[in-house]
Structure 1
Amino acid sequence: MPIHLIWGDDYEACNRETEKIIQTVIEPSWKSFNYSQIDGNDPKQNFRALEEVQSAPLGSGGRVVLVRRSPFCNGCSIELANKLEQAIKLIPDNTHLILYNSNKPDKRLKTTKLIEKNIKSNPFSQEKSFILPLPWDINGQRNLVKSILHQLNLKMNYETIDLIVESIGNDSSLINAELQKLSLFSETIDKKLNTNEPREISKELVKKLIQNNSTNALEIANFLLKEERIIALNKIQSLLQNGEPALRLITTLTGQSRGWLWVHLLDSQGNQDVKEIAKFAGIANPKRIYVIRKQIQGKSLESLLTLMKKLLKIEAAIKSGINPIDSFKDNLLTESKILTNN
Structure 2
Amino acid sequence: MPIYLYWGEDGFALSNAVKTLQQKTLDPTWESFNFDKISSEHSDAVMQALNQAMTPPFGAGDRFVWLVDTTLTQRCSEELLRDLDRTLPVLPETTTLLLTSATKPDGRLKSTKLLQKHAQIQEFSPIPPWKTELLTRQVERVAQETGVKLTASAVGYIVEAVGNNTRQLYSELEKIRVFAGDTNTALAVDAIAPLITASAQNSLKLVAAIRQGNTASALELVADLVRQNEPALKIVSTLVGQFRLRLWIKLMQETGERDELVIAKAAELNNPKQLYFLQRELSGISVRQLQRSLPILLDLEFALKRSADETLVLQTKVIELCHVFRRPK
TM category (shorter chain) comes to 0.7 to 0.9
Change (3 A) 1:238 1:69: same
Contact 1:271–1:277 (CA under 8 A) maintained in structure 2: yes
2:185 is the counterpart of 1:184:
no
Tell me which residue corresponds to 1:82.
82
Cα 1:336–1:164 shift into 2, 3 Å: closer
Letter in 1 for 2:173: L
Alignment match, 2:230: 245
Tell me if the contact between 2:12 and 2:166 (Cα under 8 Å) persists in the aligned partners: no
Mapped partners of 1:15, 1:318: distance in 2:
26
Query: Closer, same or farther in 2 for the Cα pair 1:104/1:137, shift >3 Å?
Result: farther
- Specify the code of the residue in structure 1 equivalent to 2:213: E
Gaps of 5+ in 2: none
1:191 maps to a residue whose letter is G
Encode CA deviations 1:82-130: one digit per residue, 9 max, x unaligned: 111222366455543212355478599687467645x6xxxxxx55455
Q: Which secondary structure does the structure 1 equivalent of 2:270 belong to? A: coil
3-state SS of 1:283 partner: coil
1:14 and 2:14 aligned: yes
Aligned equivalent of 1:264: 250
> Measured at CA, do residues 288 and 2 of structure 1 come closer, stay the same or move farther in structure 2, by a change above 3 Å?
closer
Q: Alpha carbons of 1:205 and 1:259: their partners in 2 closer, same or farther (altered >3 Å)?
A: farther
Q: Tell me, yes or no, if the aligned pair for 1:34 and 1:63 is still in contact at 8 Å.
A: yes
For the 8 Å contact 1:7–1:129, the answer to whether it is kept is yes
Q: How far has the Cα of 1:4 moved from its partner?
A: 1.8
Q: Percent identity?
A: 23
1:122 is aligned to: none
- Equivalents in 1 of 2:173, 2:242: separation in Å? 24
Whole-angstrom CA distance in 1 between matches of 2:59 and 2:122: 29
Residue 40 of structure 2 aligns to a residue whose secondary structure is strand
Over residues 131-175 of structure 1, what are the superposed CA-to-partner deviations in whole Å (9 max), with x where a residue is unaligned? 665666554333222332233333334343333334444x1xx24
Counterpart residue number, 2:69:
68
Measured at CA, do residues 191 and 297 of structure 1 come closer, stay the same or move farther in structure 2, by a change above 3 Å? closer
CA displacement, residues 274-294 of structure 1 (integer Å, 9 cap, x when unaligned): 232223323333333333334
CA contact (8 A) 1:67 1:99 kept: yes
User: Aligned Cα RMSD in Å?
Assistant: 4.4
TM-score by length of 2: 0.73
| 2:279 pairs with 1:293 | yes
* Distance across 2 between alignment mates of 1:88 and 1:319: 38
Alignment: residue pair count: 323
Q: Which moved more, 1:157-166 or 1:221-230?
A: 157-166
Letter in 1 for 2:245: G
Residue 156 to residue 95, structure 1, CA distance change in 2 (3 Å): same
Deviations 1:28-60 (A, max 9, x none): 984998311326xx9865455434544567999
